[in-house]
A and B are shown apart, each in its own frame.
Chain A
Amino acid sequence: MNVQTWTYLFVFLSFSLYIGIAIWSRASSTKEFYVADGGVPPLANGMATAADWMSAASFISMAGLISFLGRDGTFYLMGWTGGYVLLALLLAPYLRKFGKFTVPDFIGDRYYSQSARLIAVFCAIVISFVYVCGQMQGAGIVFSRFLEVRIETGVLIGMAIVFFYAVLGGMKGITYTQVAQYCVLIFAFTVPAVFISLMMTGQPIPQIGFGSELTEAYGGGYLLDRLDGMSEALGFATYTEGQRSTQDVFFITAALMFGTAGLPHVIIRFFTVPNVRDARRSAGYALVFIAILYTTAPAVAAFAKTNLINTVSNAEYTAMPEWFKKWETTKLITFDDKNGDGRIQYVGDPSVNELDVNRDIMVLANPEIAELPDWVIALVVAGALAAALSTAAGLLLVISTSVAHDMMKRSFMPDISDKKELLYARLAIFIAVLVAGYFGMYPPAYVAQVVAFAFGLAAASFFPAIVLGIFWKRMNKEGAIAGMIAGFGFTAAYIIYFRFLNPSIDNAENWLLGISPEGIGTLGTLINTCVAIAVARLTPSPPNEVTEIVERIRLPGE
């Protein structure tokens, strides 16, 4: 069997599994549709949260980004895991105790205000939409490269699958498919990593192989020392040393952490467990499951970079293996023989360098570069699709609940029946799938960049409003609304200014305090917090019923 056949087999098997689960777990009430009836066991919720959270970006792009960023890549690693500590300690238990369906539910009730609720709905929809388009696009790239169909067809297949189980099963269907998708994606990520680690260092555990000596065939010496040496010799930055300024790395890490804790599709998962104790437990499980991938990724990054340099540096172009040619046809690898010697000069100096490798393909190409068996390559494809589809489904659910529950039921049509609301929820998912699919097929040029900014926006809008709402009784509606608008507005304006209006001056000299647009969400969070506290101090205290809500959510045991 060749790669193509294996890929079709794995993709077919995993998709049948997802559809089977969807049919088994149909939702029949809004409570089942929104929060899986609040009956998901913590272990299952931990896996579902991990799959929900680890997107096409985590699976496909992250290790590749790290292999080009070196030590600075740590902001992805720490940012996207450290946020779970905040989530577990500052948000999850209290929001579970609050016991409603959505983040705007909390904001609207805690701040006794329809305007606050609608602002939260707006932020939730913008953040989720930006994010879901990226997932669809990721699925499209994988389909088109490995199944050799057009990107449009790939996105269409992805849409059909997500639509099927999200519309049918709602949160219940999504939860149990995500459990299956977690198993597929983590297996698909770790198997090639174990193979490569064994091959290069003789160590089966990649996290240990990362700090081990290379085998004789690879020239011996510690992997990282060798990678540092090769990078320096070719004029690249030293792998284990930082390139960006300390404050920028600090701010980006913090923005990703606060953003993780403020992302509505992650928070919503903690509404699905039976009680507060289980909410804490499932946050713990979720981080364990996420950490498996996140500690493997930097090892994969170092292995892949070493392998890539070994394979291409100063090698004959005509002697390149098959994968090189295949990725060249997708334009994700480009070679330009500047000095005409027929060899590949892969060096740091841009005027001499002849090879350009897209960061996104490192994980996908890694098994091929390392010449792993065909079935491992096919497995990676199934894993990448699982990662993209599981996250897309979670995001679509947030969009659907925001529309059907927060806008229809809680704001404009309070009298609609449960059945009607369920119908609206399904209709909203349907429309959201179509729109996401459209942007997946015809992505606006900036989608990939915008995904990273969803974090900054989530950090600067939701995180302070929720944390202050729990930890400061005096926090009132005026403060929360002013804070959310100031934080979201500032962050969005800074990003739009540098990334879309004036990309030519988007560099460290012009940035405010040397903070890049990726890290500005941290400043947005601080601005939100300061504005919220100042405005709250100048305006009346919240009413007694609201203080009672806060007292109630601080105690578990319901």
Chain B
Amino acid sequence: MSSNSANSYWKSNLKIVASLLLVWFIASFGAGILFVDALDSIRFAGFKLGFWMAQQGSILVFVVLILVYIRLMDKLDARYAIDNAEETTARSNISQSQKEVNQ
């Protein structure tokens, strides 16, 4: 992999991580703590929404976030033809790109 594509891989990676962490923050600190009282005015079944987000919903969101992350990263790896099983090729690719940088 060239250092250019290594750079753009890293940028896409950062974008994925940042957007998922935004959802992470909103679901937990937002819905479960900062705005919990406001959300409590909405009810479903025997739950107040804020209370449910704090004790159940946020955890479910966390699980979904990691599953989405796994999917997105697999796709990103495929786009950059990164094969996780092949140890040697990846390593030689990196040292290749290192040489290019040095030159």
Contact = CB atoms under 8 A, between A and B. Distances in A.
Interface of A: 66, 71, 73-74, 77-78, 81-82, 84-85, 88-90, 93, 207, 210-213, 222-225, 240-242, 246, 249-250, 253-254, 275-278, 280-281, 283-284, 287-288, 291, 294-295, 298, 548, 551-552, 554-558
A555 B62 contact: no
B42 interface: no
B55 interface: yes
A181 B24 CA distance: 30
A90 B48 CA distance: 33
Contact of A82 (B36, B44, B62): B62
Contact of A557 (B46, B52, B69, B83): B83
Contacts of A557: 77, 82-84, 86, 90, 93
Contacts of B87: 558
Contacts of B70: 280-281, 284
20 contacts: A71-B36, A77-B54, A77-B59, A81-B62, A82-B28, A84-B62, A85-B21, A207-B56, A211-B45, A211-B47, A212-B45, A250-B29, A250-B34, A254-B29, A276-B84, A277-B84, A287-B66, A556-B77, A557-B84, A557-B93
Contact of A212 (B46, B54, B94): B46
Contact of A225 (B46, B56, B63, B83): B46
Nearest to B67: A284
Nearest to A242: B36
Contact of B13 (A77, A548, A554): A554
Interface in B49-72: 51-52, 54-56, 58-60, 62-63, 65-67, 69-70
Contact of A210 (B33, B48, B56, B73): B56
Nearest to B87: A558
A211 B47 CA distance: 5
B63 A73 contact: no
A211 B82 contact: no
B98 interface: yes
Number of chain B interface residues as a range: 35 or more
Contacts of B45: 211-212, 222
B47 A224 contact: yes
Contacts of A249: 33
Given A74-B55, A223-B46, A558 B91 contact: yes
A521 to B, nearest CB: 16
Contact of A246 (B20, B33, B91): B33
Q: Across chains A and B, which 6 residue pairs bring their CB atoms closest together, nearest first?
A: A222-B46, A557-B90, A557-B82, A74-B54, A277-B84, A211-B46
A207 B47 CA distance: 11
A280 B69 contact: yes
Interface in B12-39: 13, 17, 20-21, 24, 28-29, 32-34, 36-37
A280 B20 CA distance: 14
Contacts of B10: 554-555
Contacts of A210: 46-47, 56
Contacts of B48: 224, 240
A263 B24 CA distance: 20
B17 A89 contact: yes
A213 B44 CA distance: 12
Nearest to B46: A222
Nearest to B10: A554
Contacts of A78: 28, 32-33, 54, 58-59
A238 to B, nearest CB: 11
B4 to A, nearest CB: 13
Contacts of B58: 74, 77-78, 81-82
B69 to A, nearest CB: 6
A222 B58 CA distance: 22
Contacts of B36: 71, 242
A555 B21 contact: no
A246 B34 CA distance: 7
Given A77-B59, A81-B59, A223-B46, A275 B65 contact: no
A556 B46 contact: no
A214 to B, nearest CB: 9
Interface string B87-99: 1001101100010
A555 B2 CA distance: 12
A294 to B, nearest CB: 6
A544 to B, nearest CB: 10
A545 B54 CA distance: 45
A212 B46 CA distance: 6
